[in-house]
Amino acid sequence: MNCIATIKKNLIKLRSLRFIVGNHRQICEEEKQYTSQTILTYQSSSLRSVDFVCYFNHSHLTTGATLNWTLTSMTLTVYGLPHQFSIYCVLYVFHIYRALRRLRVFILILANSNIQHA
C-alpha cells in the first residue's frame, strides 16, 4: 500500500497531520498534486490542523474545489520560481477555509540557475 492510500485510510481518525518531503526527495508533479489535493480536500470532521511542506505551489487551491471546512490551523510551505508561483493561491485560502484561525505560509523563491549575472 502506498503512502497516499495509507493517509486516505487514516485521515478519518487524524486530528493533526504534518506532511514533509525533504529537498533531496524527488516526487513527480502529478504525485505532489494528488497528495496535496487528497489532504486538503478530504472531508474529515476530526482533522483540524495540516502542515504541508514540499516543493509545490498548491495552485489547485484556486480552483474552488470543495475543501475541508473544519481546518482551524494550516501551514503551507511553498517553493518555486517566481513565474511558477502566484500569491493568489495563498490569498484564496482565506476565502475557502472559513474556520481557519491560524494560517502560516512560508514562501521560498528558488534562484534560477539559467540567469547569467554580470
Domain coordinates of the chain in residue numbers? 50-118
Specify the pLDDT at position 25: 60
Pseudo-torsion of CA 88, 89, 95, 96, nearest 10°?
160
Segment 24-35, tens digit of pLDDT: 566 666 777 777
Segment 33-82, tens digit of pLDDT: 777 777 777 777 888 888 877 666 565 665 655 566 678 888 877 766 66
pLDDT bracket for residue 85 (50, 70, 90):
low
Alpha carbons 118 and 116: distance in angstroms, whole number: 7
| pLDDT for 112 beyond 60 | no
| pLDDT for 91 beyond 60 | yes
> Hey, what's the cell of 94?
482565506
Alpha carbons 6 and 14: distance in angstroms, whole number: 12
Query: Which residue from 38, 33, 49 is spatially nearest to 4, judged by alpha carbons?
Result: 38
Q: What is the DSSP string of 43-110?
A: --SS--EEEEESS---GGGGG-----TT--EEEEEEEE-GGG--THHHHHHHHH-TT--EEEEEEEEP
Alpha carbons 30 and 41: distance in angstroms, whole number: 16
Strand partners, 106: 77
